[in-house]
C-alpha cells in the first residue's frame, strides 16, 4: 500500500509539473503517508496513526526531524486499536520527532475528530495543549504559504501567455507579491515563536513569584517565634529579598518581551509597505489590473 501511494504521488508530480501538492493525509494504517510526505517533502497530517517511525529511511528521518512542523500525527492516549501497534507509548516506537499530538480518549473512529473553520482539529483549551496549538498554526502556515507561492506561479504563467513576456509592471507585481508571501509567513512564524517565548517568560515570572512565596512561608514556619519584620530582616541579610528574587528577574523578562514585540512590529511595517507597493502598481497600470480581474 505504501509503495502504491509513493508511486501515485510521484506520477502526479512527473505527469503534472504545473500542479502543486500542498498536503497529504492518512488514517490509521494509511499513516504510512507520513513516510511518503517525508520522501517527497510534502506536509502531511494523519489521524490515529498506526505507524512505526523506524520504517523511515535515513534521508526521510533527517527531513522529518528538520521539518517536524510539516508533520502531525493526531493520536488518542488509549486508542483501542493502535495499542496493538506500540501500546500507545513512545517507549515502544522509534523517535517521532515531535510529530505526535496526544489527546485523551480511546476512540479509533475518524468521525470522533472535530474540526474548526480552518480544518484544524479542535484541541482542549488547556495549557497542556499550548505546544500542540502552536504546531497546528505552523502546519496551517506552511500549507497557506505553499498555496500562495503556487498562485504566484499561476499568475506568472497567465501573464506570459497573455503577452508573450512579462511587462515591467508585471515583474514588479510578481516580485512584490512573492516578497509579501515570504514576509507574511515569516511574520506569522515569528508571532508563533513569540507566543511560545512569551509563555516561557510569563511562566518564569510566575515561578519566581511562587519561589518567593514558598521560601517566605518556609522561613515564617521555621522562625515562628520571630516577628514578621525579623524574618524579613534575616532573609535580607542572606540576600533573599523580593527585589532580588522577583523584581529583577521580572524586569529582565519584561524587557525581553518588549524586544520581541518590537521585532514583530518591524515585520508588520514591512508587510504594509509591500502591500502598498502592490496597490500602487495595480492602480497605475490599468492593463495589469484588467488581467488580474480576469484571472
Q: Looking at the structure, do residues 44 and 149 belong to the same domain, yes or no?
A: no
Look at 295 and 180; give whichever has higher pLDDT: 180
Section 88-102 average pLDDT: 87
Q: Does residue 199 lie in a domain region?
A: yes
Q: Looking at the structure, do residues 145 and 289 belong to the same domain, yes or no?
A: yes
pTM for the model stands at 0.57
Q: Does residue 38 lie in a domain region?
A: yes
Section 162-170 average pLDDT: 63
Q: Looking at the structure, do residues 6 and 90 belong to the same domain, yes or no?
A: yes
Q: Looking at the structure, do residues 160 and 19 belong to the same domain, yes or no?
A: no
Q: Looking at the structure, do residues 147 and 265 belong to the same domain, yes or no?
A: yes
Q: Does residue 122 lie in a domain region?
A: no
Most confident of 35-39, 64-68, 126-130, 191-195: 35-39
Check pLDDT > 70 for residue 146.
no
The pLDDT score that the predictor gives to residue 57 is 96
Q: Does residue 56 lie in a domain region?
A: yes
Section 105-127 average pLDDT: 86
User: Could you give the CA distance from residue 77 to residue 80 in angstroms, rounded to a whole number?
Assistant: 9
Tally the domains of the chain.
2
Q: Looking at the structure, do residues 9 and 70 belong to the same domain, yes or no?
A: yes
Q: Looking at the structure, do residues 189 and 245 belong to the same domain, yes or no?
A: yes
The pLDDT score that the predictor gives to residue 271 is 72
Check pLDDT > 70 for residue 66.
yes
Q: Looking at the structure, do residues 278 and 216 belong to the same domain, yes or no?
A: yes
pLDDT tens sequence across 174-209: 776 776 776 676 667 666 666 766 676 677 677 777
Look at 70 and 192; give whichever has higher pLDDT: 70
Check pLDDT > 80 for residue 3.
yes
Distances (CA, A) of 207 to 194, 211, 257: 19, 6, 16
Q: Looking at the structure, do residues 47 and 168 belong to the same domain, yes or no?
A: no
Q: Looking at the structure, do residues 156 and 286 belong to the same domain, yes or no?
A: yes
Which of 98, 113, 128 terminates a domain? The answer is 113
pLDDT tens sequence across 17-59: 878 888 999 999 999 999 999 999 999 999 999 999 999 999 9
| Domain with 172 in it | 140-294
Which of 113, 148, 178 terminates a domain? The answer is 113
Neighbours of 67 (CB within 10 A): 16
Q: Looking at the structure, do residues 274 and 144 belong to the same domain, yes or no?
A: yes
Distances (CA, A) of 240 to 217, 230, 237, 243: 13, 13, 7, 8
Check pLDDT > 60 for residue 104.
yes
Amino acid at each position: 500500500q505504501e509503495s502504491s501511494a509513493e508511486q501515485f504521488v510521484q506520477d502526479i508530480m512527473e505527469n503534472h509539473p504545473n500542479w502543486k501538492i500542498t498536503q497529504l493525509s492518512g488514517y490509521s494504517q494509511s499513516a504510512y503517508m507520513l513516510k511518503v510526505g517525508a520522501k517527497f517533502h510534502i506536509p502531511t497530517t494523519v489521524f490515529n496513526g498506526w505507524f512505526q517511525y523506524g520504517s523511515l529511511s535515513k534521508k526521510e528521518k533527517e527531513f522529518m526531524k528538520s521539518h517536524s512542523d510539516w508533520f502531525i500525527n493526531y493520536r488518542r492516549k488509549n486508542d483501542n486499536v493502535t495499542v496493538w501497534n506500540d501500546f500507545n507509548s513512545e517507549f515502544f516506537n522509534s523517535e517521532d520527532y515531535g510529530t505526535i499530538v496526544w489527546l485523551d480518549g480511546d476512540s479509533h473512529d475518524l468521525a470522533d475528530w472535530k474540526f474548526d473553520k480552518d480544518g484544524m482539529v479542535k484541541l482542549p483549551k488547556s495549557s497542556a495543549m499550548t505546544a500542540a496549538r502552536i504546531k497546528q498554526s505552523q502546519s496551517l502556515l506552511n500549507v497557506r504559504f505553499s498555496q500562495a507561492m503556487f498562485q504566484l506561479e499561476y499568475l506568472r504563467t497567465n501573464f506570459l501567455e497573455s503577452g508573450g513576456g512579462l511587462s515591467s509592471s508585471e515583474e514588479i507585481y510578481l516580485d512584490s507579491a512573492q516578497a509579501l508571501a515570504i514576509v507574511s509567513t515569516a511574520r506569522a512564524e515569528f508571532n508563533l515563536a513569540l507566543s511560545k517565548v512569551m509563555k516561557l517568560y510569563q511562566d518564569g515570572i510566575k515561578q519566581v513569584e511562587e519561589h518567593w512565596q514558598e521560601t517566605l512561608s518556609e522561613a515564617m514556619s521555621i522562625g515562628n517565634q520571630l516577628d514578621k519584620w525579623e524574618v524579613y530582616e534575616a532573609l535580607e541579610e542572606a540576600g533573599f529579598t523580593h527585589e532580588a528574587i522577583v523584581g529583577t528577574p521580572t524586569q529582565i523578562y519584561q524587557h525581553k518581551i518588549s524586544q520581541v514585540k518590537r521585532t514583530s512590529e518591524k515585520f508588520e511595517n514591512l508587510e504594509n509597505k509591500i502591500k502598498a507597493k502592490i496597490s500602487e502598481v495595480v492602480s497605475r497600470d490599468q492593463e495589469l489590473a484588467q488581467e488580474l480581474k480576469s484571472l
